[in-house]
Structure 1
């Protein structure tokens, strides 16, 4: 492809980045961030309205990230058969449908129906993330793939903060906390009050639908490069490797497997910390309500946003793996503080951890994608990396179970601490491999 001096290279990368298309692509990142951060609001709302355990309330994230897991491979197949743009348009369409399901869910007032609506949104987001993460890394020179994805991910906190503010003012209401208000009501009054509170969950999704329709129109009207590797006549028979062949190829790649594990635990940790920060604040200070406690999530996403800029700056001067090892050590220490210090400073430590989350996802994603040397497997490899998001379905449920088991929301944060520890170990291993590849003379001799 050649347009405005932009040339697509045989490996699918471009000689330079088309700015407008890259900006439009990056705007997708805050769109799925809005939905993800609203889950943190819903967990707190559903916990008391439906009288759920911490484990049951965490099923909001299980439904959300379970949808990602199930749709990632089908989305990659759509990309292989068509292109990234078509997959993005498909994702936006399903996202709109999922948001629309909050209309019946808010009136049926059953937890199962809400989970179905959340799952439906995740189907659309699975298409968006499978396409947009890989596309962002491909839409320009290969040497800037990691930096480009980090820049796109920098837009994420804007959507996350927007989601929390929508939830704070449209879902949460004034007055005492839900738990405090419902504790003084009769069963009939509590049921009527709960139904009224559930109707407020619809409000944010009304506004999201309007934004999604506008973005959908922009994508339909804008021309995008394909960013897919060229296939010559000599290798045309290898154009579309089968799924079994692809999985065998990727399964033999040890670094790819480790990257998947790191992504699984990282996403699980991030989702878990954000899911329970509001609850942690309410537990440590019963005098505040949900609206006030949600401010800590705003602070968290601001910290996340600032942390990404700091990381982008550091990664222009140091190896990404070295930066992430440092981040992981600090993050593990902060989560230990959250687990053991029984006062409100633990909440601020949970907020500070968010500053260290920023570079993890895009760096693991781009570095793991780079170890897939045969580019005909790129689309499926990217889909499997997106499937690792299913960590967000398991780790919050595990931490919720630990909270119920220990009877302590704080002690349960040890689950997140263990996840950050593994991420640090992963990046330490990657740092050693990169040093070895740069200094082959120092490569250790394998022992018997």
Structure 2
């Protein structure tokens, strides 16, 4: 184990691209989403620690983006959709005042990538989906500390990310990986026996595969613990999110897949655990609130006081742990499989899943059909070639094929159900 490559995320190492006093300059990618809005709340409560210099969003919530930009006094605003620039400029003018200077506006599919390379200390990548890969690579190449909430960019471009990241440059923001990050600070890599990733079990915990056949989109979006975007919430219902987190944990900490375990913990109080070789297990626990992991990502190695609520230990509570039902939720084992295949297999898995989630949301695919279709696409992709270096074009080509094939299969399923 000691001969393994250095982990991407190591709590013992601190990467500091910009020395000096004063607030830490931060760029927030995906500012109007769940991670972004909570990060902004944290920043506004800690103006002496953080200063936001740039925001990016897809452009679907122009008024919120303009409000954020004005309240934070940012230099630059980036939107993926060029067609919303006039509306964004109008919304900014309404807040700043006519004739007042406005933030620089970047627009287009590469806007977030350009912003990720701008002058700052830390880039928080809170974008959802594999479109976050290019900004992740840009932030690393520009020498920024990367607070990574966009797990997909690491999963689909693992070797690319690992080749660019310097020791200590990535701080994980997922609640599970932030928990592992903190627990790992208690020992050395040689002391680690196992990583234990916890899962809430989602809205369908305890149901059999047969009982999942007719669940609705509304059912899948009713997560019992976390308030998240629709894609991540449905990924939590299928437990694809947990499968992605297993791959992410392997890439971040260089622990073999057979030593990464998933357990169901409905209360979501324990966010993950590290089992050490002496038999000790360290668990990181807080009430469910993403502002804690965000504060770790932005502030490490310092902690941000009162970033999130703490437990009231004077009140009784029960914490439960259950084994994962791999028959009802085959996504975790499939994720282990594609993670071990490596190459473009994780990109195929992720892209096919994103297409299938959209088909499910549109009523063109049943819930169980999500993983059935993703499994078929992965099988058709086969074993990626070995002995070659992964490139961004490789990832994009694999994703394009996987999305097209997933759409073909979901359209075929929808047509068959329409005839039935």
Bigger radius of gyration, 1 or 2?
A: 1
User: Where is the helix percentage greater, Structure 1 or Structure 2?
Assistant: 1
Normalised to the residue count of structure 2, the TM-score between the two structures is 0.29
Q: Which has the higher contact order (CA 8 A, sep 6+)?
A: 1
User: Where is the strand percentage greater, Structure 1 or Structure 2?
Assistant: 2
Normalised to the residue count of structure 1, the TM-score between the two structures is 0.28
